[in-house]
């Protein structure tokens, strides 16, 4: 068991204001695998003061100095990749192969990308008689989720540090152990005190203290729509800049001329990635009505290959859900889909072979109508809905028929047709014919999927503000 009794504030390990500890549970065994401090408002005060003090010197460092620190963090993350992967596999339940390549690999890639990007970014330009400069926003409060915990941390911390900001980080209390690895790294490389501060605790206490704190200039939040609304409303009192990456209900639009075997198979795996606990997952598969049975057959066959297992087994492709509460939520959506008339074609139960762990079988519903709850609300579990359509126009309408607009996919044998349809989908990123993930492309949503962008230069821009100096 890993027990952390102190918080990382101002470059040192500090005893929290209160004595409480939060148990961290294994998603697969339901055993307590660690404990972290239950921070409070007083700890955020200390962290914000440290970050505000550090900001004055950190913001004056050169671009090369900040890039050098990011290189050090990136190299240290890479050196501890196996520790990170195993930790997240245990906390979240991500299969170890996926945890190694994504949960540990992406944070390293993102961190190093910002070391390179800040070196290449022009922070000054002349327009007419004015010198336009881009300066760091200030102290950033970063509130991060549990599903891709360290990736979401570094998608905020790396660009913030590159821009010259300092950070107060609140990781999810469900998967906080990986954040302490980052804190240990910052201590080991002697990152200047106060540049990154880590305070664990519960959202209604620590998260809300960040959102309202007068020394914090910006809040970057990733999580649920409900919590994002709360953060935004609280931040309004001090008129902070707010970026939000919230939920999704992404559509995978498979046109009538698409390579069906490939489009459906990849679509199912996308929906089930990380046991469906992915905000950008293609959880709605939109298929031609006269080919729905074909799609069902391929989807069921693909789902059968995603047998749930121990996340530490290299052969496992589908792990458990994060918690009992999350499993209960997913099972509630499965029952509502049945009540509303969707056709359950596979899954829908807890695997009988597991006596422990929050497992749900890969589940697929067909004959789903757009107005059904399962087609409108984010399930965040291994559940796919197949929605039939009769025309291209209807397929586009179904794709856009949601309050969300985070991601999506379009498949067609005609690349120009696929691009034309993708342009009409109101989402922040749409993959065409299985386009590869690009960590330098902007990530973020339309509508109630959020405000702002992460990753690449667009992510860096969020942590910079513009000043004009007329001459």
Strand order in the sheet with 130-136: 124-127, 130-136, 464-470
Backbone angles phi, psi at 289, to 5 degrees: -60, -40
Give residue 128's pLDDT band: very low, low, confident or very high (50, 70, 90): very high
Q: CA end-to-end span of the chain, whole Å?
A: 61
pLDDT of residue 61: 98
Render pLDDT for 429-441 as a digit per residue (tens, 0 to 9): 999 999 999 999 9
Joined tokens for residue 224: 């649920």
Question: With bands split at pLDDT 50, 70 and 90, how would you rate the model's confidence at 83?
Answer: very high
Amino acid 467: pLDDT? 98
* pLDDT, tens digit (0-9, with 9 covering 90-100), for 143-195: 999 999 999 999 999 999 999 999 999 999 999 999 999 999 999 999 999 99
pLDDT of amino acid 370: 98
Q: DSSP readout, 362-381?
A: -EEEES--TTSHHHHS---S
* CB distance 262 to 255 below 8 Å: no
Over residues 256-274, the mean pLDDT reads: 98
pLDDT of residue 123: 97
Tell me which H or E stretch contains 296. Answer: helix 292-304
pTM for the structure as a whole: 0.97
**Domains in the chain, CATH or no CATH each:** 2-246 (3.40.605.10), 251-438 (3.40.309.10)
pLDDT recorded at residue 126: 98
Q: What is the pLDDT of residues 27-37, one digit of tens each?
A: 999 999 999 99
Give the pLDDT mean for 221-232. Answer: 97
Catalytic residues: 245, 279
Tokens 């490389």 locate to 189
The predicted pLDDT at position 244 comes to: 98
Strand, coil or helix: 68: helix
pLDDT in tens, 319-329: 999 999 999 99
pLDDT band per the 50, 70, 90 thresholds, residue 212:
very high
DSSP-derived pairing of the beta strands 139-143 and 166-170: parallel
The answer to whether 139 and 168 have CB atoms below 8 angstroms apart is yes
**So what's the pLDDT on residue 274?**
98
User: Token pair 């336009």 is at which residue?
Assistant: 132
Specify the pLDDT at position 30: 97
* CB-count exposure of residue 160 (10 Å: 0-12, 13-18, 19+): buried
């Amino acid at each position: 068991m890993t027990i952390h009794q102190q918080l990382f504030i101002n470059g040192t390990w500090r005893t929290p204001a209160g004595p409480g500890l939060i148990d961290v549970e294994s998603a697969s065994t339901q055993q307590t695998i660690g404990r972290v401090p239950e921070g409070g408002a007083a700890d955020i005060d200390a962290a914000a003061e440290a970050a505000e003090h550090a900001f004055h010197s950190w913001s004056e460092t050169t671009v090369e100095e900040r890039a050098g620190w990011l290189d050090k963090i990136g190299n240290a993350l890479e050196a501890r990749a196996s520790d990170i992967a195993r930790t997240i596999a245990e906390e979240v339940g991500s299969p170890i192969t996926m945890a190694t390549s994504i949960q540990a690999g992406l944070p390293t890639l993102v961190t190093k990308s910002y070391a390179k990007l800040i070196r290449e970014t022009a922070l000054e330009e002349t327009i007419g008689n004015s010198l336009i400069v881009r300066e760091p926003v200030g102290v950033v409060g970063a509130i991060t989720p549990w599903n891709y915990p360290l990736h979401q941390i570094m998608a905020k911390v790396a660009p913030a540090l590159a821009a010259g900001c300092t950070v107060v980080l609140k990781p999810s209390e469900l998967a906080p152990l990986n954040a302490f690895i980052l804190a240990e790294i910052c201590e080991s490389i002697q990152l200047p005190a106060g540049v990154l501060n880590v305070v664990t605790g519960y959202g209604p206490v620590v998260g809300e203290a960040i959102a309202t704190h007068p020394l914090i200039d910006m809040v970057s939040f990733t999580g649920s729509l409900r919590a994002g609304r709360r953060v935004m409303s609280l931040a309004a009192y001090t008129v902070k800049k707010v970026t939000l990456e919230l939920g999704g209900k992404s559509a995978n639009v498979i046109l009538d001329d698409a390579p069906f075997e490939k489009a459906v198979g990849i679509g199912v795996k996308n929906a089930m990635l990380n046991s469906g606990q992915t905000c950008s997952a293609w959880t709605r598969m939109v298929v031609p009505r006269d080919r729905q049975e074909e799609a069902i057959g391929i989807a069921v066959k693909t789902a059968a290959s995603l047998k749930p297992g121990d996340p530490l087994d290299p052969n496992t492709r589908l792990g458990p859900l994060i918690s009992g509460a999350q499993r209960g939520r997913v099972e509630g959506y499965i029952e509502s889909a049945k009540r509303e008339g969707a056709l359950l074609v596979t899954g829908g139960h807890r695997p009988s072979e597991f006596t422990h762990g929050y497992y749900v079988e890969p589940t697929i519903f067909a004959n789903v109508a757009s107005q059904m709850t399962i087609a409108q609300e984010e399930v965040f579990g291994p559940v796919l809905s197949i929605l039939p359509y009769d025309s291209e126009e209807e397929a586009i309408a179904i794709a856009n028929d949601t309050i969300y607009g985070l991601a999506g996919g379009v498949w067609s044998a005609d690349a120009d047709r696929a691009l034309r349809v993708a342009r009409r989908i109101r989402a922040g990123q749409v993959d065409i014919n299985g386009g590869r993930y690009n960590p330098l492309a902007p990530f973020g949503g339309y509508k109630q999927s959020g405000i702002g962008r992460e990753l690449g230069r667009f992510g860096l821009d969020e942590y910079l503000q513009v000043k004009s100096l007329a001459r």
